[in-house]
Structure 1
């Protein structure tokens, strides 16, 4: 029997599938689309998502495919105003290997995730539409449009904002939206424009933006909709895009051609009332939709999947009890609420700034959009006994440290995988590292230059237990071996 069925093969579903497959969980990914999407859609991976995908083995492939620095070239009423670069001067540090976002179209991210998933022996089943489901205490039965059925222990819905699964479960999608489109989008080929920058035209007539994709002739177009004589939005098309380009740029030499992925975007700010119904979970856009400001959509879904993957895997492998699955909603629902708030504020700032010279989309950067500061300090899985600046529930920082052979390494190399990691800082912590369960990797660290202690805000010797998703589970004094064992026992392993 299939262990987990994932409905939806976007970044959320694919990240979850990779996280489960590498644990040996039998997973099937189904998607109703007959072909894989070709439109760019989301276009940035934030630093936290880059850490997640690097842990899954995609770090080098992503770096080779995207770019980390992209200037924003801004115009007002057709005239050049200035050029800024939000990540100018930002470089990796000892604790943060990915300091800037990566510009890469979502379609390319999905392709790399599918390739990684295929390396685990799993392929997406296209043109496979879920139309109904039944569940009981033992499992879930997924019913398909072609009459087929799939029996599984769990189902995870990653099927987008119009989620069939969420509707079948009757889970309210709380919030509101604007019925009229506020933006038209598309992928186009552009002639006569420097591809070294994201060009952003603002003015009294709205906004028009063209963002290049490295290594291709494709650009993503986003613009205020054209309106007809009655003031109604005009559907996106190449002809409309050309008229909008002439209107906003004032340039006759700008060539637009070969428009694909024609789309409209409406403001929707909604969140599922709950993320779980029995053996069915919601993740990604199925669980929350919000404004595009800050580029958090694809990233929040990836990080939903990262949180759920290790928990489902540990429960299915007998390393934790079923109650662990309740912490998925406990930890991720507040993050979604924060995301809705911060992106709504960001979109309001961008909208208000359209009529102000020199304003660009970076005005929508409200709060931490890197994802690095998002933490679960409120979680029942956070046990903090040191009360330092870095607390249980926080993202575990990277740091230089010795490798298994004594050579130079980094903490993230020790964390990579689906195990807990116990850092023993200083000689006083060494006795606590002996005789722990095999699912815990122990890392003794003398830390003579204090790099790890600085990263974790620790003075003297200490124990730091890191979860499989690289968030801190427990901080404790060096002799608190019983606290570590108690934490692991509390997960309910059978």
Structure 2
């Protein structure tokens, strides 16, 4: 290892990879005024395709906090009805997702279909608004770390010195491989999909169409419309022995064979992929000053749309902790990232594998990720410590309507003082936003107290999880010291 101890840093954090995970992390750091550079080996006009397209309700809550929920909802759509065919004959039409209405505690109850390329564009625009641009054509080719920082080398011959580095560079992560971190799990050669974004004039755009084999009921082809575009996402299983044809002619042949529709013509093909199903989990999420996040730390089957969402929430968990440690919090706070997020990824891999193996299973509440919790983790205290903090409509002291999610939005912990009358404990610093319920926040319809009770204190972490739920002011102060 080359020694760079005490070398002057160029930035606080280098993020390798500008997919949804890396972009979310860069936003989290930039809005806390942490110096960040985000590198991506692809050119600026790289088209990642539709790929991870299902945004779960918990991820929508993250995007609410990041300030991008409006463009996400305006350009996405709920899952369309599915039209199932046996051979060439339609046999069933229905919904794959349970239809739910917003409630006071869950404002975004259903997943949104949003192509990954558009999610990335919206994230990049938000990041640019914070003064940070993705550095394209900037491939990381090596790095060295010491007690004080990390020195990153790029293919262009440049060198960047940072205090920390995060590998968000996908399932084939060069960062993970360079660290020597194991990627435990399996790849299933027999579970292969030919994927691509296609234009097919005359194809229905009001349903997600699935063709099944009339004998064994297995999926032969799946085509769903990409909202706001002329594209469809086409998926077709292939065998372990197939030699995939990733050309437009190859997709045309598959479309005709699998759908029994000879009247349909593929006129455009983008981002064709021979996808092999893998379920793998990194043995470690941290080695010294280098971290892994997103697909670099875990890969899933596509069933249940867990992968992108889990990666975004990795970044949401890690970002505020990096910022706190850079501001002087104990380094041990960074160890809680793996302690909290690796079990979540393990659950997500298990769930997506279950849905893949049970062809009759449908997504349920578990896929929404609203029930994920860090209970019994290192940053959970009190009865509900570690649970997701629910939303609730409420009013400010002057009677203006708002919601708890808007109150929580930002970069600081939030303390709800629930006693009647509420008082802010002594010693709570200005870095914590404290609200006396009934004084600073009014609850005319009772939704806030229905969600949080009417006594004690609830401290909500910057990532929207309850840190401590207690009647003890001393316990609140001790928790704040730890973070």
Please give the range of the TM-score, normalised by the shorter of the 2 chains: over 0.9
> Structure 1 CA distance, aligned partners of 2:211 and 2:109?
28
Q: 1:68 Cα shift?
A: 2.1
Q: 1:434 Cα shift?
A: 5.3
Q: 1:433 Cα shift?
A: 4.3
> Structure 1 CA distance, aligned partners of 2:220 and 2:24?
33
Structure 2 gap segments, 5+ residues each: 1-9
Q: Is the 8 A contact 1:226 1:240 kept in 2?
A: no
> Structure 2 CA distance, aligned partners of 1:414 and 1:206?
46
Residues 1:109 and 2:119 are matched in the alignment:
yes
**TM-score if structure 2 supplies the norm length?**
0.93
Aligned counterpart, 1:401: 394
Q: Is the 8 A contact 1:347 1:364 kept in 2?
A: no
Q: Is the 8 A contact 2:191 2:239 kept in 1?
A: no
> Structure 2 CA distance, aligned partners of 1:220 and 1:260?
10
User: Out of 185, 201, 225, which is 2:238 matched to?
Assistant: 225
Q: Is the 8 A contact 2:194 2:244 kept in 1?
A: no
Q: For residue 256 of structure 1, give the secondary structure of its aligned residue in structure 2.
A: coil
Aligned counterpart, 1:359: none
| 1:70-116 C-alpha deviation (Å, 9 max, x unpaired) | 21111122211211223453121100111111111000000010010
Q: 1:448 Cα shift?
A: 5.1
Aligned counterpart, 1:487: 479
Q: 1:449 Cα shift?
A: 3.9
| 1:15-64 C-alpha deviation (Å, 9 max, x unpaired) | 00000000000100001112343211111111111111111110111111
Aligned counterpart, 1:210: 223
**TM-score if structure 1 supplies the norm length?**
0.91
Q: Is the 8 A contact 1:200 1:210 kept in 2?
A: yes
Residues 1:8 and 2:26 are matched in the alignment:
no
User: For residues 198 and 468 of structure 1, do their structure 2 counterparts lie closer, same or farther at Cα, with a shift above 3 Å needed?
Assistant: same
Residues 1:465 and 2:459 are matched in the alignment:
yes
Q: 1:431 Cα shift?
A: 2.4
Aligned counterpart, 2:7: none
Higher mean C-alpha deviation, range 144-153 or range 30-39: 30-39
Residues 1:25 and 2:34 are matched in the alignment:
yes
Q: 1:146 Cα shift?
A: 1.9
> Structure 2 CA distance, aligned partners of 1:258 and 1:85?
28
> Structure 2 CA distance, aligned partners of 1:206 and 1:398?
39
Q: 1:141 Cα shift?
A: 0.4
User: For residues 234 and 431 of structure 1, do their structure 2 counterparts lie closer, same or farther at Cα, with a shift above 3 Å needed?
Assistant: closer
Aligned counterpart, 2:316: 306
Aligned counterpart, 1:334: 343
Q: Is the 8 A contact 2:244 2:274 kept in 1?
A: no
User: Out of 428, 433, 450, which is 1:441 matched to?
Assistant: 433
Q: Once superposed, what is the RMSD of the aligned Cα atoms?
A: 1.7
Q: For residue 206 of structure 2, give the secondary structure of its aligned residue in structure 1.
A: coil
> Structure 1 CA distance, aligned partners of 2:53 and 2:400?
37
Q: Is the 8 A contact 1:401 1:445 kept in 2?
A: no
How many residue pairs were aligned? 466
Q: 1:254 Cα shift?
A: 2.1
| 1:176-207 C-alpha deviation (Å, 9 max, x unpaired) | 11245611000000122221111111114742
Q: For residue 463 of structure 2, give the secondary structure of its aligned residue in structure 1.
A: coil
Residues 1:383 and 2:385 are matched in the alignment:
no
| 1:318-351 C-alpha deviation (Å, 9 max, x unpaired) | 2x2111000000000001111111111111123x
| 1:191-239 C-alpha deviation (Å, 9 max, x unpaired) | 2222111111111474201110112110110111289xxx533333222
Q: 1:367 Cα shift?
A: 5.7
Q: Is the 8 A contact 2:208 2:224 kept in 1?
A: yes
Aligned counterpart, 1:424: 417
Q: Is the 8 A contact 2:245 2:251 kept in 1?
A: no
> Structure 1 CA distance, aligned partners of 2:59 and 2:168?
17
Higher mean C-alpha deviation, range 108-117 or range 396-405: 396-405
Q: 1:313 Cα shift?
A: 0.9
Q: How do residues 80-479 of structure 1 correspond to structure 2 at under 5 angstroms?
A: 80-87=90-97, 89-179=99-189, 182-203=192-213, 204=216, 206-225=219-238, 232-318=242-328, 320-350=329-359, 363-365=361-363, 368-384=366-382, 387=383, 391-428=384-421, 430-433=422-425, 435-446=427-438, 447=443, 449-456=445-452, 458=453, 460-477=454-471
Q: 1:475 Cα shift?
A: 0.6
Q: For residue 367 of structure 2, give the secondary structure of its aligned residue in structure 1.
A: coil
> Structure 2 CA distance, aligned partners of 1:6 and 1:381?
25
